[in-house]
Chains A and B, each alone.
Chain A
């Protein structure tokens, strides 16, 4: 090997090492049902991947949204590659727990016996907090160096809607209080530490410029601040950007004979409401972003355009 090549290799491995020792970034995306969590999470992930990071986009539960959205063949627990630097996986409580059990017990037949047992499976799905803990355990496994490797710089999670998301965040603390001893208590405390770590965990609350979603977002923002002392970012999605001045809209809204009269009345109402909602958002946090309503029905074009605007 030529000397300069050796030098170069040493340099590359040095860079790799520093990159790896940099903390893995975790981005939680939440918000009320239907506000655009999945689309925004995908756009965030795409944006990070374009800046050279290795990104894993994760959806939670046992049914994949992206599979239908992007017309993919099969989305499951093991990541599939969507784009260079961008992979996608679907994690459920059961699949996370299964992997963890395999890692801990190491006897495949025993793990299988456990998960093939109908009573156990049903139990896992209802046992309070167990699924939530397993999911957060998987998400933070890279940070905690616990479990199979998770070789990504950044994990973007399309999480649950507000109510269930709160339950997700509360699970580690709740569990560590209910079960103080044993492996579960210990794991819970570690996981809890990770989701409170400002350097690693980031929270994005998506909302529409509407009363209910904003109210839910405000409550969640306050909860995260009070409990974790972390400022969650607020994202106002589907903002209608009107390309004409408010004055023009107003005139046409008053002109009953104009064929765009009703359209203008609609726009006027939207503009007014958006102003009010932005004021409300401003009161919640100064850290808020707006994403326009994008008139695009092609899924990838929509995500790409959105990634450019976040």
Chain B
């Protein structure tokens, strides 16, 4: 059974706020297509230890063929190394010139390339682009870094590429406007005031570090920008689809609605929304119907009713949500599974569940 989601799909991006199950879903979706005969690569970010072991990528950043698989196609996996990807990217853009060492030593660069806002999103896309460009895979599934809001992933690279745009760089490279003619110098005086404020707030040393940073990247700024254009083109291609993974509560569903509006505004293709772990698996299976003996433990019966009532109450939100977004995207509800889903058979179980749910919609 071919899934609609994978028709004419070369790239699948799993987005969602922190901890909702992006990595797990990315792996399970990859299993579906490997079973269907494709060469699939799943690019993960910081997978749980046991999942990493299962995928054969613990302690390595190389693309690895997942061990113990018996699929019609082949499943490959990799963990993205942010620092290395960022450095590689800079090295390539600078064509390995000497200036690159200066950049590596710049204290702002050091902060930028590690843990700060936007850099992981940037490197994830950079890695995706280079794997996509290699043409080695039929399908690449990208897991994304934990963000506060799903939409942050899409906004981050643009924010960062802004740093490389000429407008900003010019400011800091030449704050005095020395290279400009008299008239543009006068226009610049507003800019000067603004910079003066920044200097009051941060100090002249900070401004100098910034200037230094921008002078160093001047030569390859164009290449940096070109790359962000290419990445953007890849993301809005009709063969690139997005899957939103989200948990289930009122605030999260509201956020999902917002995300769905924003993502289509940006020209991206959202295909499926996965509501993950939304109720326990025992509730899903409607287990009591096919059993003949009713439990005689009153406390347990009461507890069961209490939990069931709680989840049914929450289900109301779900129905409202689905009615609202049906036109925009497919919605899949995945229960909270009891069995370990970090081994290969667990992933297969989850992938079967996804296929089954999707054929229902």
Contact = CB atoms under 8 A, between A and B. Distances in A.
Interface of A: 32-35, 61, 63, 65, 68-69, 97, 100-101, 104-105, 110-111, 113-114, 117, 119-120, 122-123, 125-132, 160-161, 163-164, 166-167, 170, 174, 177-185, 211-213, 215, 242-244, 248-249, 252, 255, 257-266, 269, 295-297
B115 A166 contact: yes
A183 B300 contact: no
Contacts of B48: 211-212, 215
Contacts of B300: 243-244, 248-249, 252, 260, 263-264
Nearest to A260: B295
B203 A177 contact: no
Most chain B CB neighbours (cut-off 10 Å) among A63, A100, A180, A296:
A63
Nearest to A130: B202
A119 B295 contact: no
A117 B190 CA distance: 10
A69 B304 CA distance: 27
B304 A263 contact: yes
Given A257-B293, A259-B294, 7 more contacts: A68-B250, A127-B210, A167-B116, A178-B111, A182-B203, A184-B203, A243-B302
- Secondary structure class of chain A's binding surface, majority of residues: helix
B20 A33 contact: yes
B19 A34 contact: yes
Contacts of B254: 68
24 contacts: A35-B19, A68-B255, A69-B250, A101-B200, A110-B193, A114-B197, A120-B198, A122-B162, A123-B168, A126-B118, A126-B160, A127-B210, A129-B116, A130-B202, A164-B115, A182-B204, A211-B48, A215-B48, A243-B299, A244-B299, A252-B295, A259-B291, A260-B304, A262-B285
B184 interface: no
B150 to A, nearest CB: 11
B18 A34 contact: yes
Contacts of A161: 18-19, 146, 148
Contacts of A259: 287-288, 291-295
A296 to B, nearest CB: 8
A111 to B, nearest CB: 7
Contacts, number: 195
Interface string B62-100: 000000000000000000000000000000000000000
Nearest to B314: A297
A295 B20 CA distance: 20
A125 B116 CA distance: 11
A61 to B, nearest CB: 6
A112 B175 CA distance: 20
A131 B200 CA distance: 16
A260 B250 CA distance: 29
Contacts of A123: 162-163, 168
Contacts of A213: 19
Nearest 5 interchain pairs by C-beta: A33-B18, A182-B203, A33-B19, A34-B19, A128-B111
Contact of B282 (A34, A125, A182, A265): A265
Interface in B24-52: 48-50
B149 interface: yes
A295 B149 contact: no
Contacts of A130: 202
A109 to B, nearest CB: 10
B202 A184 contact: yes
Given A126-B162, A211-B48, A262-B282, A257 B198 contact: no
B43 to A, nearest CB: 18
A111 B193 CA distance: 10
Contacts of B17: 33-34
A162 B23 CA distance: 17
A262 B287 contact: yes
Nearest to A178: B107
Nearest to A185: B203
B37 to A, nearest CB: 32
Given A69-B251, A117-B194, A263-B304, A183 B203 contact: yes
Interface string B302-316: 111011011001100
Contacts of A34: 17-20, 247
A127 B19 CA distance: 26
Contact of A100 (B194, B201, B247, B309): B201
A63 B151 CA distance: 12
Contacts of B197: 101, 105, 110-111, 113-114
B19 A257 contact: no
A166 B200 CA distance: 27
A33 B147 CA distance: 8
B258 to A, nearest CB: 9
Interface string B266-283: 000000000000001110
Given A119-B167, A297-B314, A211 B338 contact: no
Contacts of B204: 181-182
User: Which of B167, B198, B254, B294 neighbours the largest number of chain A CB atoms within 10 Å of its CB?
Assistant: B198
B297 interface: yes
A183 B146 contact: no
Given A65-B251, A68-B250, A258-B291, A248 B297 contact: yes
A128 B107 CA distance: 10
A242 B280 contact: no
